[in-house]
């Protein structure tokens, strides 16, 4: 079975730069707090009306497709990872198919938040390995700026998120050395609610009180959305930051070691680790735990914030564009986030 290689890679960051100081007009925070706790100096926000999660994904995809030396019509499958799709449904994959005038190919959306891109890559990798498809477009994109709580109440979440997109084209490898060596996917739903956006959703937690028991289907149906949800900020992401942090610094090293050990490598063999850009302190902790040098870990959260499913492909693309990844290099992608879900991919460039 052939391995899959990244034949083309692209990224898209919206033009608008939002500094930590720009956020002061909305919430009680400070540049000092944000930099000290997260490493973030600035992030990008998409154009309010002209850009969506899909349009940013499309821009990244165009570059990846061109660099792969093919056209959108050659793509035979799309996997799109995001937690903030343009619509509640349908997903962004079909919108990419439409925007790029592709053939009537399959389009799949992956909802695995911060580890979404690595999960999406793993799905695409299986289709390449089995010979089902030859040119798969994998995208991670987010427009967080439209769905976060800009009041002081939501500051622990809103200061970390940024917008952007990254994309790769996967193809079967033509040699036996290069390609994705293995992918490793994990989850633990025990803490699903500590990093989540509860509404709109079908959990019906609001309507369990006795007073709602007499409501008929139509009345409850109309309560899918309520003023109460908005007033209580339940339409925004919620995060118990310290609890997520504690789990992340255990699971990141674990899943990176798993990938290395599975393929008979050690951290010394690693040319570059591309961790999901959740928090610079998390990346630094992982680096220290694995005893990696500064040159072995790529971080760009300082300039883009946490772009969830887009962070790994944006960082991978930027590192490659800067010449930090060359043919034959061992590269590890790793992510951890909501779910919890965590994942890694080890590849020979």
66 versus 240: smaller Cβ distance to ligand UT7: 240
Question: Distance of CA 169 to CAs 8, 184, 288, 336, Å?
Answer: 5, 20, 32, 23
Residue 130: CB minimum distance to ligand UT7, A: 31
Q: Does 114 bind ligand UT7 (CB under 6 A)?
A: yes
* Set 199, 257, 279, 306: catalytic member: 306
Cβ neighbors of 75 (< 8 A, separation 6 or more) are: 65, 100, 102, 103, 105, 135, 136, 137, 169
Among the listed residues 202, 330, 314, 213, the one whose alpha carbon sits nearest the alpha carbon of residue 268: 330
* Set 92, 276, 279, 300: catalytic member: 276
Residue 32: CB minimum distance to ligand UT7, A: 9
Q: Does 242 bind ligand UT7 (CB under 6 A)?
A: yes
Residue 196: CB minimum distance to ligand UT7, A: 11
DSSP code per residue over 151-200: SGGGHHHHTTB--EEEEEEEEE-SSSS-EEEEEEEEE-GGGGGGEE---S
Q: Does 124 bind ligand UT7 (CB under 6 A)?
A: no
Cβ neighbors of 220 (< 8 A, separation 6 or more) are: 204, 207, 212
**Rounded distance between C-alpha atoms, residue 307 and residue 317, angstroms:** 14
Residue 139: CB minimum distance to ligand UT7, A: 18
Q: Which stretch binds ligand UT7 (CB under 6 A): 34-42, 79-87, 93-101, 103-111?
A: 34-42
Q: Does 259 bind ligand UT7 (CB under 6 A)?
A: no
Q: Does 33 bind ligand UT7 (CB under 6 A)?
A: yes
- Binding interface with ligand UT7 (CB under 6 A): 29, 33-34, 37-38, 114, 155-156, 159-160, 195, 241-242, 244-245, 248, 278-279, 282, 306, 337
């Amino acid at each position: 079975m052939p391995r899959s290689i990244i034949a083309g890679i692209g990224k898209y960051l919206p033009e608008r730069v939002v500094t930590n100081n720009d956020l002061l007009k909305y919430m009680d925070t400070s540049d000092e707090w944000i930099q000290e706790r997260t490493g973030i100096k600035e992030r990008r926000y998409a154009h309010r009306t002209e850009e969506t999660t899909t349009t940013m994904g499309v821009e990244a995809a165009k570059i990846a497709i061109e660099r792969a030396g093919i056209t959108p019509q050659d793509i035979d499958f799309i996997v799109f990872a995001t937690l903030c799709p343009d619509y509640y449904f349908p997903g962004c994959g079909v919108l990419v198919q439409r925007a790029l005038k592709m053939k009537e190919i399959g389009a799949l959306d992956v909802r695995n938040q911060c580890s979404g891109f690595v999960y999406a890559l793993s799905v695409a990798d299986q289709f390449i390995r089995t010979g089902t498809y030859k040119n798969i477009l994998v995208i991670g994109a987010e427009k967080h700026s439209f769905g976060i709580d800009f009041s002081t109440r939501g500051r622990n979440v809103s200061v970390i998120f940024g917008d952007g997109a990254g994309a790769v084209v996967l193809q079967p490898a033509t040699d036996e050395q290069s390609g994705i060596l293995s992918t490793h996917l994990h989850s633990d739903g025990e803490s699903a609610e500590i990093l989540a956006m509860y509404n709109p959703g079908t959990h019906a937690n609001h309507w369990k009180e006795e007073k709602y028991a007499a409501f008929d289907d139509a009345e409850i149906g109309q309560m899918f959305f309520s003023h109460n949800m908005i007033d209580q900020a339940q339409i925004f992401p919620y995060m118990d930051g310290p609890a997520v942090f504690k789990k992340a610094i255990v699971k990141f090293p674990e899943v990176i070691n798993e990938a290395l050990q599975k393929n008979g490598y050690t951290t010394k063999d690693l040319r570059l680790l591309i961790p999901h850009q959740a928090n610079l302190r998390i990346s630094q902790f992982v680096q220290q735990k694995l005893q990696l040098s500064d040159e072995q870990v790529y971080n760009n959260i300082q300039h883009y914030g946490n772009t969830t499913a887009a962070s790994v492909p944006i960082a991978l693309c930027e590192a490659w564009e800067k010449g930090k990844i060359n043919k034959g290099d061992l590269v590890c992608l790793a992510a951890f986030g909501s779910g919890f879900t965590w994942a890694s991919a080890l590849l020979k460039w």
